[in-house]
Copies of this chain bind each other. A is one copy, B any other.
Amino acid sequence: MRVYTRIMNKSHSCICINLRQASLAITRFYDAVLEPSGLKVTQYSALIAIRQLEPVSISGLAENLGLDRTTLGRNLRVLERENLITFSPGQDQREHTVHLTSQARLALEVAYPLWEQAQAKIRQNLGQPQVEMLKTLLADLEATIA
């Protein structure tokens, strides 16, 4: 008797798809809340990271953000075109170090209360302990595949 492979027919049993769907939905929410600042949440997080690490190379920034180097490089071009960042040569002639412009600092000041508002809504509706639990689980999850 042949036993045919039983395939799960519920995509929501997939941990990855669960994560992706939540990630996309929450991203849409943050992008909508941040809209008056002209920044998307990906751009906001990149600018925050740059401000924190400046001066920083593209690869260093990518590692910090958990993104592929080439992905971040292309994302940064958008920010450069919008006059939010500039590049300058580093000590090492291979490196391009990234800098915030004053326009970016202004945009971050506009974006910050909006971002806080998004964070607050989730904290209030989900509960602070649940938010902390979620962060812990996400960190542990990433550790399982490292």
- Selected from B6, B134, B145, the residue in CB contact (under 8 A) with A15 is B134
Contact between A4 and B121, CB atoms less than 8 A apart: no
**What interface size band does chain A fall in?**
35 or more
Our pick among B2, B4, B48, B145 for the contact of A11 (Cβ within 8 Å) is B48
Those of A36-71 within 8 Å (CB) of chain B:
41-42, 44-45, 48-49, 51-53, 62-68
Chain A interface main SS type: helix
Question: Does A78 touch B at the CB level, under 8 Å?
Answer: no
Nearest chain B CB to A108's CB is how many angstroms away?
6
A75 within 8 A of B: no
Instruction: Tell me if A138 and B108 are in contact (CB < 8 A).
Output: no
In the docked arrangement, what's the CA distance between A18 and B62, Å? 15
Is A142 part of the binding interface, using a Cβ–Cβ cutoff of 8 Å? yes
